[in-house]
Structure 1
């Protein structure tokens, strides 16, 4: 005989920092819930980051609920092992009611208004479902990868750990967002000959006029700006993050300087045909645009300093240290020395398990600060859910508190309605 599904008022799908933050605030309000995590709590940071990975934002921005960074280096950048330790300490504080190793396979609305939550360990019902699984689910690897010879080792950025896992020879890194730029630097510093297919990611300075740029932007109110206040509105959610690094105390990533040191730069990779890699003639445009963003951020800081009479050392704007000559649009694979490729072109979301009318045509959730038009369905931990820090340690806790307040109000209304119905 099949057991009836177990009921829980709130089901949280995902046990990373976002789901754990929701659990923290639910526990604070005495609201029963369960966290479902198909792996282990906060596992991504330990299992899907390279060995030299570190934060690109200062440690002082790490402000999970009841767990603000209080270590000895607030202006530094935690390394991978330190991040994992920080999160393990957060798990120990929250003590979430979590079902590790349990995957949620389907969520759908029942006729009685509850959600049917199917999992790998059995069925549940819930009044509210919080999707805390992030938006980086399926690694993007283009179809051209299927045409490359088997002699070339191919991995995605989420599989990259160390230069030594790739065979001897030269390496092509495809994509210059945060992961691509930092992985290219990691390989470059290890003495590997790197070929980098440069995309349209912007860049920013690490330090400018005596302070970390993040600190200046915080003072300027950038991190408190909501998506509704941003000039791009919802469009900002599609923006690529600026590349910069916290490695070795923090520094710029300047692809032009890498070129002067032997890294080969190309435009966006377009295809592989007849033994040849084909690149678009976009390298100069991409580098110039990244530098314009870099200098425009610094100019905004200059304006803030001037308007507020702040004493800060003068600093010139960036001028290019290298310019591409004739564009290289074709590269013969056999003659290139390339034996490995790291695909750093992102991920696509996969919410197929959630049967709810809360998605746009691209399969991305539609919401207002994580609250969807379908009563009882919420999202947390997505980039620009509400502010720049929504997908990071800095603001996910505030987003979680807001969502839990909405949940508490709605659950309370349901109890009142049930009382009068009886």
Structure 2
């Protein structure tokens, strides 16, 4: 089978690219191992909602048009939203098609699947950033009698039996799972590493509305000093509840969650935690206030004082003195909320750096005619959000179309 472009992945990134290619009359297919929005439909915990308000759910030629623009869609509604998007322009999605390998050559690429092979002139890897869970090596030292789950495995409190729970990681997934398990009556300990603290609302508006207004989300990959660090930043400590409540370490500690430092080892039946928790929370608080300073400057510069709320800044993070060792016997379950890594089909090892990361320049991979979409800070800070898939796809589509034109001219 032949086509001009093969897009791998039928989530928001793959569909956004498909819409852009359709608008440019470029022949293509979208290969999806499950169905459209498979990850949103079946690979997230039951209570998950968007961290971004619904009004931010916009893709090329499509946007949220429901009656709750300031709410946060549950995962199932996100899947419905994306399925509706694909239908709106007749996205050429082939569901139930697992890509097993991509062989890139000078004359084009061969995409091998369990349903046959495709020859094409360009490939877009739009499988996203959360293909598999990132689990630290220390997991191997956890005793066999303690159940281990990842954030991708977890569905709800009923899945976690009685006994204490150690949640490792304090980004969005970690704080949400710790909060949910605590509310369900579990005894929860949260191991905290590097994290990004923000309020759910500030001066009467959602924090994402402010970050959008001040241009924070549109910072480009070629404008930041340390791009590698920017791409590694944890997701924001937020939860998208209907009441818009905050969720940070203070809120968790107040609800009974035990806060400890980063999990650094296991020895003689004891979990060992870093003593740097105080430094981590101080650093997170400083970054929080730098962001709020930018918002306050924006309010003053645009004459919004009196039109928005007062600068209701959250207080400092206050956690009790944390132990550096805890008996593992107090835990029946460990939940790893330690991040994700992309899952690609088999590719030439030369496309990856020494850390196993796909080498690319703003989504343009090292091999001509190969592109990647849906990664954090791919081309701008909003890249990993639904609202970031469109702008990235448009720019990469322009590059891809030029590549196809050059190939035709050279033929």
TM-score with structure 2 length normalisation?
0.94
Gaps of 5+ in 1: 1-5
* 1:347-396 residue CA offsets vs partner (Å, 9 max, x unmatched): 23344612274332222223233123422111111111111221221021
User: Match for 2:358 among 358, 361, 365?
Assistant: 365
* 1:302-355 residue CA offsets vs partner (Å, 9 max, x unmatched): 122223321233234332363322x30111122x2x211111101233446122
Trace 1:16-31 onto structure 2 (pairs within 5 A): 16-31=11-26
Gaps of 5+ in 2: none
Q: Matches of 1:149 and 1:235 in 2, distance apart?
A: 33
Aligned length: 409
Does structure 1 conserve the Cα–Cα contact (< 8 Å) formed by 2:199 and 2:314? no
* 1:143-197 residue CA offsets vs partner (Å, 9 max, x unmatched): 3333333332211001111111111122110100110011111112222221100
Does structure 1 conserve the Cα–Cα contact (< 8 Å) formed by 2:178 and 2:190? yes
- Structure having the higher Rg: 1
Q: Which residue of 2 aligns with 1:90?
A: 85
Q: 1:415 to 1:133 in 2, by over 3 A?
A: same
Does structure 1 conserve the Cα–Cα contact (< 8 Å) formed by 2:130 and 2:342? yes
Displacement of 1:416: 3.2
Q: Which residue of 2 aligns with 1:323?
A: 319
* 1:279-299 residue CA offsets vs partner (Å, 9 max, x unmatched): 111222222222222222112
Does structure 2 conserve the Cα–Cα contact (< 8 Å) formed by 1:22 and 1:400? yes
1:19 match: secondary structure: helix
Cα RMSD (Å): 1.9
Does structure 1 conserve the Cα–Cα contact (< 8 Å) formed by 2:282 and 2:317? no
Trace 1:148-159 onto structure 2 (pairs within 5 A): 148-159=142-153
Does structure 1 conserve the Cα–Cα contact (< 8 Å) formed by 2:97 and 2:115? yes
User: Match for 1:345 among 335, 338, 343?
Assistant: 338
Q: Matches of 2:42 and 2:286 in 1, distance apart?
A: 35
Does structure 2 conserve the Cα–Cα contact (< 8 Å) formed by 1:173 and 1:180? yes
Q: Which residue of 2 aligns with 1:3?
A: none
Q: Is 1:403 aligned with 2:396?
A: yes
Q: Which residue of 1 aligns with 2:407?
A: 414
Does structure 2 conserve the Cα–Cα contact (< 8 Å) formed by 1:224 and 1:387? yes
Q: Matches of 2:350 and 2:139 in 1, distance apart?
A: 34
Q: 1:231 to 1:417 in 2, by over 3 A?
A: closer
Q: Matches of 2:244 and 2:7 in 1, distance apart?
A: 35
Does structure 2 conserve the Cα–Cα contact (< 8 Å) formed by 1:349 and 1:363? no
Does structure 1 conserve the Cα–Cα contact (< 8 Å) formed by 2:175 and 2:248? no
Trace 1:23-422 onto structure 2 (pairs within 5 A): 23-110=18-105, 113-311=107-305, 312-320=308-316, 322-325=318-321, 327-334=322-329, 336=330, 338-351=331-344, 353-355=346-348, 357-418=350-411
Displacement of 1:83: 1.3
Displacement of 1:60: 1.1
* 1:18-74 residue CA offsets vs partner (Å, 9 max, x unmatched): 111111111222211111112222100111211111111111111112211111111
Q: Matches of 2:229 and 2:256 in 1, distance apart?
A: 36
